[in-house]
Amino acid sequence: MEEANFYHALKIDNDRCIGCTHCMKECPTGAIRIRDGKALIHKDWCVDCGECLKSCPTEAIYVEQDDFQRIFDYKCRVALMPTVFIGQFSKYTTEKEIISAVMELGFTHVFQVEFTADMIHKEMVRQMENAEEKPVISSFCPAIVRLIQVRFPALVDNILLVKAPVNASATYYHKILEGQGVPSEEIGIFYVTPCAAKIAALKGAEGYSSTIKGVINMDTLYNKVYHILKNRPRGYEPECELPPPLTKKEMRWSQTGGEAKHFSGRCLAIDEIHNVIDFLERMETTSEVRNVDFLELRACDRSCAGGVLAVANRFLTAERIMKRSMNRDKVPMIYAADNFEALSYLRQHITIRPVQPNPKRLYDGTIDEMLKKMEQVRKLMCYLPGIDCGACGSPNCQSLAEDIVRHEAQFSDCVFMQRNMEKHGKLDQEHAFRIVEKTWGKDRLNKDCYKKGAKYEGL
């Protein structure tokens, strides 16, 4: 089986990281450890959900992005904008004001991500009708797709093989521009992303696709647009060509429930990655979940409105999008007669390749060797305290036991075991202190008061 080669957009700034364990505790896949006083991400287990970024108190975890000036490498510069970006602004700011500000920054075109939602929906229905395995699972959220590959590999065949709106709309609009006589090499489509997972999915192991040339983090673009809007004179009337209007269905497609409400049968919409994991575990291990036809799973709370790169409150963002979508029940403009060639091209390229499992491999070796290692973990758990304090640099006792069996940690890393070993003369204090330094760094215990010669009695 060919393993997926994951690209990751989440990075750690070691100069800012203080090894506080917040990220390690929040990581839903247990991909983070503390070593030498710094957080380390196990790349094969990370799904780029961004939970670590949200929990970091020192902003040591960040999402990489392309240089904004890269847009000027192309004559035709397209901002591929999701509706959640419009939702960052209050109802008093019109879409025309927002889009005109985006174009003032240097873009020549603005196109909305959800424009292809109806076409995507029709393909999803077609695949759903022919599916042998139920429930079928939406491929909208790349963090969820990767989560299934890593933690629930038996469910990869349930994922619908349909392009996400960002990919479908980039494919469609690129063809539109080519039809207008713009050379392909002059077209630069840049996606405005609300999350790290979409960057990772778009860039992938082989770089960006032929249609998407880069990404712009949503918080970066928001700050630039806000600055323009704030400094406009009173009564300013923007002039720009607006992109085709979206229908109510299209505007709400990226919100929680935006997909599920348009399918027949028993359909569930679940957001926030810990909720998703809990549900999928129940589905795998119990008979509690039955007769579900479709699952809309999103990694962020309130879906893309809660993305880690969004600026506005997620609940306000979702409300704004709902209100802006009112009175928009029209025929989707994607089916306009003058766009037939691009529409036909999208129909032929609306699907994706089958998703490959890439299970979270705890142990290497043959089946027998893996079983022996699992038994070793079980025995280790009989001795470890089960407190899950994280002082060993692993998120919990189970993870520490697994790290020990993989030779990535030692039994003496547990502070409770250290005290027990000291008590029975199997470990001296100096050695125990070196173990703590290995996990938490040499300077972690050197507080200012100790450096100045203060004694415990004087504290």
Question: How many residues appear in the chain?
Answer: 459
Nearest to 162 by CA among 355, 359, 358: 355
**CA-only gyration radius of the chain, Å:** 25
Distance CA 310, CA 111 (A): 19
Question: Is residue 429 a part of any domain in this protein?
Answer: yes
* Four-CA torsion 388, 394, 400, 405, nearest 10 degrees: 170
Question: Is residue 20 a part of any domain in this protein?
Answer: yes
Q: Parallel, antiparallel, or unpaired for β 136-137 and 61-63?
A: unpaired
Q: What is the torsional sign of CA 395, 397, 399, 403?
A: positive
- Burial of 56 (C-beta count, 10 Å sphere; 0-12/13-18/19+): buried
Question: Is residue 193 a part of any domain in this protein?
Answer: yes
Distances, alpha carbon 381 to alpha carbons 105, 190, 385, 414, in Å: 57, 49, 8, 12
**Structural domain containing residue 333:** 66-347
Which residue, 301, 319, 347, sits at the end of a domain?
A: 347
Distance CA 295, CA 5 (A): 26
Any idea which residue has 């928009």 for tokens?
A: 328
Phi and psi (nearest 5°) for 214?
175, 175
**Same structural domain, 55 and 117:** no
- Burial of 335 (C-beta count, 10 Å sphere; 0-12/13-18/19+): exposed
**Same structural domain, 429 and 299:** no
Query: What is the reported pTM?
Result: 0.92
Question: Is residue 352 a part of any domain in this protein?
Answer: no
Distance CA 176, CA 178 (A): 5
**Same structural domain, 121 and 159:** yes
Local confidence pLDDT in tens for the 459 residues of the chain? 344 567 899 999 999 999 999 999 999 999 999 999 999 999 999 999 999 999 999 999 999 989 999 999 999 999 999 999 999 999 999 999 999 999 999 999 999 999 999 999 999 999 999 999 899 999 999 999 999 999 999 999 999 999 999 999 999 999 999 999 999 999 999 999 999 999 999 988 567 888 999 999 999 999 999 999 999 998 899 989 999 999 999 999 999 999 999 999 999 999 999 999 999 999 988 888 889 999 999 999 999 999 999 999 999 999 999 999 998 888 899 998 888 999 999 999 999 999 999 988 888 899 999 999 999 999 999 999 999 999 999 999 999 999 999 999 999 999 999 999 998 999 888 888 889 888 998 877 676 544 445 554 544
